[in-house]
Structure formats: C-alpha cells, structure tokens
C-alpha cells in the first residue's frame, strides 16, 4: 500500500508545465520508485522528514549523502545563522574562508592547500585540469561506471555530447589492475591523472570494495609514471574516516575532492592538494558567482569540528554495522538472501540472484508504504542522527515489509 501523495502529485503536475520533466537528475522520480517515494519534502529533522502530504519517513538517503550529522542540525544551523545575519555573498570572501581552508588543510593529512566551490562536479572537473596543467598530458583514467559529476567528460546521460568530450577519457573495470597497467602501457607518458572514488559505489549495482593491494598498486603506478592521483571523495568523504577516506584505505592521493557531507546540507565543495600542485592550481581558472558563500563555509567549519570531536565516521560505521546486521538477520528469517554491500555507513542492499532488481524494487516499494525511505538502486546513507531506537524501528518495519514480499511472491 502506498502512502497518500495527493499534494505531492498536484505539485508535480504544476511542475511539469514549467520544469522539463518535473524533477530531473538523480532525484527524478523515474530514477527511484516513481509513485511510491515522495516527490516533494516539506521539512526534515534528525533522520526523519515529512513529505508535503504530511507523511513522516525514516530516512536512509540523507539528501543523497549531503547530510552527515542529521537534518537541521541545531549547532550547525545556529552557527550558519550567525553568519547569515552578517551576510553570505560579498564582493570579496569573508574571513571564514581562510578558517575553513586552514581547518581542512589541517585535517587532511597530505593537504597543503584547499580551494572551494559549490558542487562536487565543479572540482572533480577542475582537479583533472590541474593534473593536465601540471603534467602537460591529455589523458585521464577513471573506473568504468564511476560517477564523478555532471560534466560531459563523465556524466551518465547521453544527450548534448560530442565525441571529443570523452576522447581523452580512458576507463578500466574497478579493481582490474591488469587492465589499468595495459592502459598505462598503451598511453605511456600521455596520462595526466587517475581519478577514483575510495571504493566502487556505482548505482544499480552492488558496491565493490578495493582488493587488498588495489590502492597501494594504484599509488605505485601513479608515482612511477608521474601521474596525479585524484581521490573523488565527494560521496564518501567523512563517512569512513574524519580525515578523508584515503586514511581508511591507507593510501595518499595528490588531490582530493569533497562535497556532499562537507556542509551538512549547505552547498559547498572543496579540493585539497599537495604543495607540488600549488602552481598548477593557480593556472586553472576557478570561480563561481556564489562560491564564496560565507554561510555554507560556516556550516562546513562547524560540521568538520563536530565530525572530529565526536568521531562521527566511526560512529556511523558502528551504527551502520548494527543496521546492516539487523537487516541481514530479518532477511535470513524470511529466507531472503540479502546482501548489504559496501561499507556499513553507506550500504548498498541487494538480493542474491536479483540482477534485474525486480525483487529489491518490490521490497523498497512495500517498505515505502511503511514510511521507510529505502532506495532500490543507490547506496543508502546512515547519519549520526540515526539512533539505535530509530534503527530498531526501521528494522522492525523492514521485517514486516519482507514478510509481505514473501507472501506476495508465494501468492
């Protein structure tokens, strides 16, 4: 049974007149469960939100990763509000920009400098250009199926592109070091950077962790071939280690990009880098109308402080473990072969043998009827606002959904 969504639907009908497709991108209803998940949200707090029809949901997407400490976090909001009273955009940056750069440069062990923008894409694209500028080489290597943003060199859409957009982008399957080495041989002295996420978290597929030697070997081939290693920590940053995901996997990139959780819902992204890239970074033009937004920078400053003070990455990994184990236990009880792939703080659920995703879609559909916001083909996110009681309630409701799924399949 689906929750009431009359108001949501009415809004969406209005939107269709004035916004192509109504809602686009990764939050387009068609990318999830078009008629089961809410289209518009009214307000949110902690790990719950209310849709415009007044239904309350327990959330497991955290604004697709933008929320780390919970929605409407009182301390972060208060700190941001203080700045809001002073103003957000000026002719010049505000002092908080320097404070935030110092904070990040301190917290990210390899970083000697930091720059800011608004979106992850702004800086993944900028980072590959910095690498090109430094190396004076054209090619970029990425993992097949990885998402690095909306720009033409990497977006998952099909429209508005010309062949040249990707003519200098090479791909290898995640963890396939042989293929990576073959590419490096074929394009010797032509590769400027390898850009990778900390682990492989493609949509529509279980997450894949790096093999034991993956990162050390990638690091080695980069060093040996004078290639810049770019860590795209946009989605994972803050969720595995407070000092950046490279610490969790024990390697050192040359550049790393953060965004989603950085501002806990305030739009901001950052790229940090090693000293030897400072000159190149000054040559690649970087700016945006609202990129010096002091409110978002204040939020990020506070958010980083809280992450550090309360060991948030460790905390959500532990909560995620509790949740994933609980989910697997109820699945086992219901004879459903559930896997929670990826790290515990961002699990991607899948049923064995369900490559076409029909089963997980049905399960999430039934769960949605119980107020659980489970996405069928994107990794979920655990925030630090999820309490054990919230997780227990979610597991209990998920258990009911699994029972119904089994009944439905048997009927």
Partner 1 sequence: MKDIGDRIISHAAAFSIEAASKELYERSKVKRELKVKFINDNLVELGGPGLCFKENKLLKAVESGFAFPQIVSLIFNFINGIESILILLEIRKILSSDTVNSEKVSLGLRSGLTGATTFANYDIRYKKLLDEHKDEVVLFSIDKTKISIWLYFSSENTWKVQSGTFSREPTTTFTFKDLSVANNAISGRFDHLGGPAVGDAKVSGNLPFLDKIGYISRKVEQQVPSIL
Out of ligand PLP, partner 1, none, what residue 158 binds, judged by CB under 5 to 8 A for its kind, is partner 1
Out of partner 1, ligand PLP, none, what residue 119 binds, judged by CB under 5 to 8 A for its kind, is ligand PLP
Cβ-based nearer residue to ligand PLP, 132 or 148: 148
CA distance 326 to 322: 6
| Number of Cβ within a 10 Å radius of residue 25 | 10
Specify the long-range contacts of residues 202-206, CB closer than 8 Å, at least 24 apart. 202/145, 202/146, 202/147, 203/147, 203/377, 203/378, 203/379, 204/357, 204/377, 205/145, 205/348, 206/339, 206/341, 206/342, 206/348, 206/350
Q: How far is the CB of 201 from ligand PLP (least distance, A)?
A: 7
Q: How far is the CB of 175 from ligand PLP (least distance, A)?
A: 17
Cβ-based nearer residue to partner 1, 19 or 89: 19
CA distance 338 to 122: 36
* DSSP reduced 3-state for 87: coil
Cα 232 to its chain centre, rounded Å, is 10
Cβ-based nearer residue to ligand PLP, 316 or 394: 316
Out of ligand PLP, partner 1, none, what residue 275 binds, judged by CB under 5 to 8 A for its kind, is none
Cβ-based nearer residue to ligand PLP, 144 or 333: 144
What tokens were used for 163? 């062949």
Cβ-based nearer residue to partner 1, 142 or 239: 142
Residue 23 CB partners (closer than 8 Å, separation 6+)? 12, 15, 29, 39
Q: How far is the CB of 119 from partner 1 (least distance, A)?
A: 21
- The footprint of ligand PLP (CB under 6 A) covers 119-121, 124, 147-150, 197, 232, 234-235, 259
Out of ligand PLP, partner 1, none, what residue 318 binds, judged by CB under 5 to 8 A for its kind, is none
Task: Give the side-chain half-sphere CA count within 13 A for 138.
Answer: 7
Residue 302 CB partners (closer than 8 Å, separation 6+)? 75, 76, 79, 80
Q: How far is the CB of 64 from ligand PLP (least distance, A)?
A: 6
Q: How far is the CB of 401 from partner 1 (least distance, A)?
A: 17
Cβ-based nearer residue to ligand PLP, 273 or 326: 273
Out of partner 1, ligand PLP, none, what residue 21 binds, judged by CB under 5 to 8 A for its kind, is partner 1
Q: How far is the CB of 162 from ligand PLP (least distance, A)?
A: 21
CA distance 11 to 348: 30
CA distance 271 to 278: 12
Q: How far apart are the first and last CA of the chain?
A: 16
Tokens 């659920």 -> residue:
349
Cβ-based nearer residue to partner 1, 73 or 359: 359
Q: How far is the CB of 362 from partner 1 (least distance, A)?
A: 8
Out of partner 1, ligand PLP, none, what residue 259 binds, judged by CB under 5 to 8 A for its kind, is ligand PLP
Residue 322 near residue 387, CB atoms below 8 Å: no
Out of partner 1, ligand PLP, none, what residue 369 binds, judged by CB under 5 to 8 A for its kind, is none
Cβ-based nearer residue to partner 1, 7 or 247: 7
Out of ligand PLP, partner 1, none, what residue 72 binds, judged by CB under 5 to 8 A for its kind, is none
Residue 280 near residue 118, CB atoms below 8 Å: no
Q: How far is the CB of 208 from partner 1 (least distance, A)?
A: 16
Query: For the chain, what percentages of helix, strand and coil (3-state, to nearest 5) are there?
Result: 45, 15, 40
Residue 329 CB partners (closer than 8 Å, separation 6+)? none
- The footprint of partner 1 (CB under 8 A) covers 9, 12-13, 16, 20-24, 28-31, 34-35, 39, 158-159, 204, 355-358, 361, 377
Out of partner 1, ligand PLP, none, what residue 358 binds, judged by CB under 5 to 8 A for its kind, is partner 1
Cβ-based nearer residue to partner 1, 343 or 349: 349
CB-based closest residue to ligand PLP:
120
Pick from 22, 33, 31, 60: which is nearest to 44 by CA? Answer: 60
Out of ligand PLP, partner 1, none, what residue 42 binds, judged by CB under 5 to 8 A for its kind, is none
Cβ-based nearer residue to ligand PLP, 149 or 243: 149
Q: How far is the CB of 245 from ligand PLP (least distance, A)?
A: 11
CA distance 273 to 110: 7
């Amino acid at each position: 049974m689906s929750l009431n969504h009359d108001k949501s639907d009415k809004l969406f009908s209005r939107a269709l007149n004035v916004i192509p497709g109504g809602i686009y991108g990764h939050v387009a209803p068609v990318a999830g469960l078009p008629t089961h998940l809410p289209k518009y949200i009214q307000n949110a707090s902690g790990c719950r939100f209310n849709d415009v029809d007044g239904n309350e949901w327990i959330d497991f997407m955290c604004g697709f990763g933008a929320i780390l400490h919970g929605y409407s976090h009182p301390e972060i909001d208060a700190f941001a509000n203080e700045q809001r009273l002073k103003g957000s955009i000026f002719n010049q940056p505000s002092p908080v920009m320097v404070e935030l750069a110092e904070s990040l440069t301190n917290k990210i062990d390899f970083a000697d400098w930091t720059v800011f923008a608004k979106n992850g894409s702004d800086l993944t694209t900028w980072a590959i250009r910095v690498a090109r500028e430094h190396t004076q080489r054209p090619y970029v290597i990425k993992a097949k199926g990885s998402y690095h943003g909306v720009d033409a060199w990497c977006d998952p859409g099909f429209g508005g592109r010309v062949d040249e957009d990707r003519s200098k982008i090479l791909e290898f399957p995640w963890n396939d070091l042989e293929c990576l080495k073959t590419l490096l041989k074929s394009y010797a002295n032509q590769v400027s950077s390898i850009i990778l996420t900390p682990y492989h978290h493609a949509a529509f597929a279980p997450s894949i962790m790096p093999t034991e030697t993956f990162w050390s070997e990638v690091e080695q081939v980069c060093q040996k071939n004078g290639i810049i290693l770019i860590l795209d920590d946009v989605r994972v940053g803050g969720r595995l280690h407070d000092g950046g995901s490279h610490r969790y996997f024990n390697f050192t990139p040359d550049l790393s990009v953060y965004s989603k959780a950085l501002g806990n819902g305030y739009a901001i992204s950052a790229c940090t880098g090693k000293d030897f890239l400072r000159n190149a970074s000054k040559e690649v033009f970087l700016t945006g109308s609202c990129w010096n937004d002091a409110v978002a920078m204040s939020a990020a400053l506070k958010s980083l402080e809280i992450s550090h003070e309360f060991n948030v990455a460790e905390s959500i990994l532990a909560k995620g473990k509790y949740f994933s184990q609980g989910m697997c236990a109820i699945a086992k009880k219901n004879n459903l072969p559930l896997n929670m792939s990826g790290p515990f703080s961002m699990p991607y659920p899948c049923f064995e043998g369900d490559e076409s995703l029909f089963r997980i879609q049905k399960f999430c559909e039934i769960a949605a009827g119980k107020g659980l916001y489970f996405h069928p083909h994107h990794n979920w996110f655990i925030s630090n606002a999820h309490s054990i009681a919230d997780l227990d309630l979610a597991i209990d409701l998920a258990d009911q959904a699994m029972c119904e799924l089994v009944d439905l399949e048997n009927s």
